[in-house]
Amino acid sequence: MVYRGKGKIENMEFIQFHPTALFEPGISPSFLITEAVRGDGGILRNKSGEAFMERYDPRKDLAPRDIVARAIDNEMKRSGTEHVYLDCRHMDKEKFIHHFPNIYEKCMRMGIDVMQHMIPVAPAAHYSCGGIKTDEWGRTSVQHLYACGECASTGLHGANRLASNSLLEAMVFGHRCFIDSIEQINTIPFEERIPDWNATGTSEPGEMILITQSKKELQQIMSDYVGIVRTDTRLERAMKRLDLLHDEAEALYRSTKLSPQLCELRNVISVGYLIVKGAQFRKESRGLHFNTDHTKKSALLQNIIL
C-alpha cells in the first residue's frame, strides 16, 4: 500500500530463511526445528545419507544460519529433492525429549520417531529485514504515516537479522511511534470526505481459480528463482513472469468486484516485485542477499530504495 502511495521502500532483497523447517508440503506457517538441535549434535544429511555440511564449512553443522541454508538449498537443487534430513538417531533420547519436547511430540504425531527416523527438513522464509523506510521514530516518507514491526525498515537489522532482534525492535519502535504520534494527533485535520468505493461496471468474480492459481504461480516463482541463492538470469525470469501476473491481476481488479483474496493477490505481487527489483539492483552479495553472478561484497555501502 505504501509503495502504491508513492512512499519509500528499502532493501526488500534481504529475506532471511530458517534453514530447518519441518518439511510438510502445504502447511503454513512452517513448524521450525530449532537450530539448537544441531547445537546438541543433530547432523544434516542429503538423500544419499551423506553428512554434507563438511563440504561447505569447517564448522560443519554448526556453521552460521545463512551458510547452512545455502548449503541445504544447493543440495536440494543438485539432487532435485524437496528436502534434506536432520539426523538425531544417535542422540540421547532422554536428553532430546527434555530439551525439545515439542519437536519430539510433533514428529511423533507425524509418525517420525526421531530416535529411529531422520527428520525431513527444508529452509523456510523467516523474516524480511527490508520494508517501509522509516526514521528512528517510525515516521515513513508519507506524511503522518508510521510503520513498525516486520513491515518496517528501520535500518536496525542491516542486511541480516540476529535471532530475536525483531521482537525487541517491534516493541521499541511501536512505543516510539506512539510517543511521536500522540504529540501530533490533535493537530492533524481528519479527512472525512472520502468517497465510498464505487463498484459500478464491475462484475462478481466468476472464477476464483483465476486468483488462487495466480497466487500459486507467484509462490512457485519466488521459491524457484528468488530464494536463498539468486542469479541474474533467475531474477530476470522471475521479473518477466511477475509482469504477466501483475497485468492479469490488474485486469481482474478493474473488472471484478473486490474480494479479500483479490486484494491479497495484488499485494503479494507488489511485494514480490519489490523483492525482485531490489535484488536486481544489488550487484553484490551481502548479508541475506546472495547472487552467484556477484559473489563479492561491494566496498560501497548502499541502501536500495524503491
Contacts with ligand FAD by CB under 6 A lie at: 29, 32, 126-127, 149-151, 164, 166-167, 170
Distance of closest approach, residue 1 Cβ to ligand FAD, in angstroms: 8
Distance of closest approach, residue 263 Cβ to ligand FAD, in angstroms: 7
How far is 19 from 78, CA to CA, in rounded Å? 17
Q: What share of the chain is helix, strand, coil (3-state, %, to 5)?
A: 40, 15, 45
Catalytic one among 65, 70, 139, 286?
A: 65
Distance of closest approach, residue 259 Cβ to ligand FAD, in angstroms: 13
C-alpha cell of residue 181: 504520534
Q: Which is nearer to ligand FAD, 52 or 146 (CB)?
A: 146
Task: Give the pairing of strands 131-133 and 152-153.
Answer: parallel
CB-CB neighbours of 137 under 10 Å: 14
How far is 87 from 179, CA to CA, in rounded Å? 49
Residues 44 and 72 sit within 8 Å (Cβ to Cβ): yes
Q: Which is nearer to ligand FAD, 164 or 186 (CB)?
A: 164
Distance of closest approach, residue 131 Cβ to ligand FAD, in angstroms: 9
Distance of closest approach, residue 50 Cβ to ligand FAD, in angstroms: 28
How far is 221 from 202, CA to CA, in rounded Å? 29
Nearest to residue 71, comparing CAs of 86, 54, 53? 53
Nearest to residue 217, comparing CAs of 186, 187, 240? 240
Annotated active-site residue 234? The verdict is no
Residues known to be catalytic: 65
